[in-house]
Structure 1
Amino acid sequence: MDNGTYSSGPDGNDKLLPFQRELDVARSAVRVAAKLSQHIINAKDQGGVMTKDDLTPVTLADFAIQALLSATIRAQFPGDRIVGEEDASQLRTDLLLLEHVYDLLRWATGHGDGPDAEARREAFPKDCRVPSSREHMCDLIDECGASVPGSTGRTWIFDPIDGTKTYVRGELYAINIALLVDGKQTLSVVGCPNLSIAPVAPLRDSHVHEKGTIAFAVKGSGAFVQSIGISSGTGPIRLRHLDPSLGLEHVRFVSCTTVGSALAGVNEEVARRIDPVAAAVEFPTCDLLPWVLRWVALARGLGNTTVWIYKSKERLGKIWDHAGAMLLFEETGGLVTDVLGKPIDLAAGRKMEANFGFVAAPPQLHGEVLRTAQAVVREMGREELLQGWPPS
């Protein structure tokens, strides 16, 4: 089994991996983002929740963290493309909101007087950056909000807050950074500011911990987890590979029962057919709203299978909810496809227009889970969901 610590060199530093500089920069940025997100949610305004045009919520943290991540990556890797969930349209029309977000970034860098500000200045990583002006902040956020991933070159993908609804409730959420090279997942860094270093199943959105973690992976080098604090005293831990002897009786689902984008009842029926005994006792094993955290839970071994079939062809995955985070599961031995069995195409656009839904499982079980999912869809009279992909 691949289970053990992420070894250190003779100077005590992390053993070098491919893309080590990118990994170091991304982990530094995630640590600052985690601290900033916790500062915001602990404030009286509870994150300043607003509603976007598509009726999904957005907070001060979404804007501030996307600005932090984009400024950092732009400074360190100026030739790379950056893609993020948010745009700056609300900031440009609401000057009070603009000022509030900019002040939060200044807070993160230690702007101001007093011992707390001085401590933040000393702690702010040398490889991190914030925008140099309000206009620069809006321009960076807008660049992320307008850019699309490419099939060539390097593209960074950001989800500043995955799980905004759970975040504002003080529950589990994630900060997602992915690096694609020529359209392929190459690096993943996921900040989980309130997920325990030793979570246990069953895991729910409300299972928060006072100390968070970072999960990360580099393609071909494994997946790891470590404390989000830089002074924790423990180095990264290599995540265990899936057991190749797992059978269908060992399938444990990671899913979400609190959102309405899935075809009603399909996930439960797939679980029942795979293992009726286990499904009758508990479905799902992990019930999590943030998609990024579902991939983390799979990589952490808290479950080993997920099936997600959208209720209409118009519902598509969003790249920032999956890019990089899927790599965590793949680097522990998992296989990820869409519901048609096709590989996930992350170069198709901001929305994942070349794929429909997700099936992820241990490789030796994936085929049976996929066939079961497709059979359930057909028996529910929704075979049209499996036809005509990609839509014209």
Structure 2
Amino acid sequence: MEAVSCHRHGSVLASMTVKTHRFNPFGKISSLRIPARLGPNQHHQRCCRTPVMIRCQSDFQVRVADSTYRRELIAAIDVVERACELCLSVQVQMKEEGSGFSSGGGFEKKDATPVTVADFGVQALVSLELSSLFPFIPLVGEEDTGKLRKDWEQRKAATTDSETSASPALIELVTHEVAKVASEQIKNLTVEKVMDAIDRGCENLEEASRQRNLSYWVLDPIDGTRGFLRREDAVYVVGLALVVEGKLVLGVMGGPNVSYTINDGAVPWETPRLQMATNGNNDATVQTGLLMAACAGCGCWVKPLQARRGEPDRDPASEVLLEGMIESKVDECMTLREAKFCISDHEVWSSHPLAGALASRAAALEDRVTADEADILPLCCGSLCKYFAVALGGASLFVLHLQEGQYVKVWDHAAGVICVTEAGGQVTNVMGKPVQEMIRDGQATFRPEGGGIVVANGRLGEKVTRYMSAVRDMIYVSDNDNCWN
């Protein structure tokens, strides 16, 4: 690689360019490029050191060849691909009147968060597929079938031999969607089997986890369900991770509607370059759907999601699933003045506690950022999409803003933590303790100390925790509506 230059022209897709003049003896070369994005809270942008990864496409297969968890990784990639296909299928039907999916076919849970046919379907699918391959590895999932079973029983009680319900029960919709994308090894699906599969994710692992010899999957069926229900451009993510003996060993995240473009190489031996794009872009070259996978000691990798409709069913253990992966790295920003900050799209940067810290004397001059200088990447509800952006190099950092003593749910973080870490980043609480050490206890929730979680590239994490600790009183809030997620 002879030269790397970075230009911003005010275009959404302005990005890094790579000039390659030497012949590459290892075959085709790949690079991952992240675009500039003009945030709504800024007046100008700087040239952040966004990484360009040059790797042979077969590197991922070589890197994980000797991994103890190669088989589990392949299965996780397969089932997340299938789960993303299920999500897209439900979204298509949400647009059709009379389909039973007009509101996602769901309801609000006790914590006022929505749950849909897609949430239930993904948890059932993942549970069924993984239990068939790894029957002794339990699952920690977000959903349970309390309301599904109640709805099902009411429908059966109200339907006589001569009557049929005007619309299918919610669990029937879920079962139908699972059957459409399940592998051939999942046979004879019934609503009872699907409900049992969903409830498999509600197992109590606390006692067993204390023995530190337990492996278990952690699943967030859809992180960002509110964004999923918007049916527009809001990003949502399917997240799956595996914990073994108290350590995160792999994570897979699928973004069914993450937009990207592929730019063909300028010279014959270059492979097409994948570049993240802004959702809602109507350019004909923009495609959607990205999958990210990380395995302990093997790095973090990304590829376009596979479109499998109309194709013969693929073996969930197929090596094909490892093909076409491009290594992903966090960005290389060294100062907070040049960093891109990821926040929730309903929030304003000036209200963020980090904004106050960076505008104060606590920050070094090179890190001091005023509200109108901040380079902002706003993303929808949910934490995993923000982990995705940091691991991809599309954002330098984000801070999950919490009340002191507040608990967070393990499935909202597990897959993201290992992806960011393997991409070269850091995930800690505000006091600098690795979140990995909090997840390992096998419980559904954990409590970060200090009032927040810092997700950042390897150069900025320590700075952020230091500045926020200096003004820590600023991160205490009075109600949950101010939480950053």
User: Normalized against structure 1, the TM-score is what?
Assistant: 0.81
**d(CA) in 2 for partners of 1:131, 1:370:** 52
Aligned ranges for residues 292-311 of structure 1 at < 5 Å?
A: 292-311=384-403
Q: Does residue 180 of structure 1 match 2:275?
A: no
- Please tell me the residue identity of whatever aligns with 1:246: M
Long gaps (5+) in structure 2: 1-50, 153-168, 261-273, 309-319, 479-485
Residue 71 of structure 1 deviates from its aligned partner by 0.7
* 1:120 corresponding residue in structure 2: none
Which residue in 2 is equivalent to 1:347?
A: 440
* CA displacement at 1:347 relative to structure 2: 2.8
For residue 470 of structure 2, the aligned residue among 351, 375, 379 is: 375
Alpha-carbon distance in structure 2 between the residues aligned to 1:129 and 1:316:
36
How many residues align? The count is: 360
- Considering Cα pairs closer than 8 Å and 6+ residues apart, tell me whether 1 or 2 has the greater RCO: 2
Separation (CA, whole Å) in 1 of partners of 2:58 and 2:91: 35
- Match 1:90 to one of 135, 139, 147: 147
Please identify which structure carries the higher helix content.
1
- How far apart, in 2, do the equivalents of 1:286 and 1:238 lie? 24
Instruction: Kindly indicate whether the alpha-carbon contact (under 8 Å) linking 1:185 and 1:323 is maintained by their aligned counterparts in 2.
Output: yes
AA partner of residue 32 (structure 1): R
2:293 to 216, 222, 230: 216
Retained in 1: the 8 A contact 2:358–2:467? no
Corresponding residue SS for 1:211 = strand
Q: What does residue 266 of structure 1 align with?
A: 353
The answer to whether the 8 Å contact 1:68/1:129 transfers is no
1:15 aligns with 2:62: yes
| 2:218 aligned residue (121, 137, 157) | 157
User: Secondary structure in 2 aligned to 1:103?
Assistant: helix
| Equivalent runs, 1:195-214 vs 2, <5 Å | 195-197=258-260, 198-200=274-276, 210-214=287-291
Q: What's 1:72 paired with?
A: 129
Structure 1 runs not aligned, ≥5 long: 110-124, 385-392
State the Cα deviation string for residues 141-160 of structure 1 (Å, max 9, x = none). Answer: 11212434734321101111
Q: Is the 8 A contact 2:253 2:292 kept in 1?
A: yes
Report the Cα distance in structure 2 between the residues aligned to 1:241 and 1:38, rounded to whole angstroms.
Answer: 28
- Indicate which of 99, 122, 139 corresponds to 2:196: 139
The amino acid that maps onto 2:402 is Y
Task: Report deviation, 1:337.
Answer: 0.7
- Aligned-pair distance for 1:376? 2.5
CA distance in 2, matches of 1:23, 1:223: 12
Which residue in 2 is equivalent to 1:102? 175
Quote the sequence identity (%): 28
Q: Please say which of residues 159-168 and 136-145 is displaced more in the overlay.
A: 136-145
Deviation at residue 253 of structure 1 after TM alignment: 1.3
Whole-Å separation in 2 of the counterparts to 1:135 and 1:61: 17
Under a length normalisation based on structure 2, what TM-score does the superposition of the two structures give? 0.67
Per-residue deviation, residues 3-35 of structure 1 (Å, max 9, x unmatched): 2346439xxx94361222112111111111111
Report the aligned-residue RMSD: 3.2
Q: 2:79 matched to which residue of 1?
A: 29
Choose 1 or 2 for highest CA Rg: 2
In structure 2, the residue corresponding to 1:195 is in which secondary structure? Answer: strand
- Superimposed CA distance per residue, residues 129-168 of structure 1 (whole angstroms, 9 cap, x where no aligned partner): 4784322221221121243473432110111111100001
Q: Which has the higher strand share?
A: 2
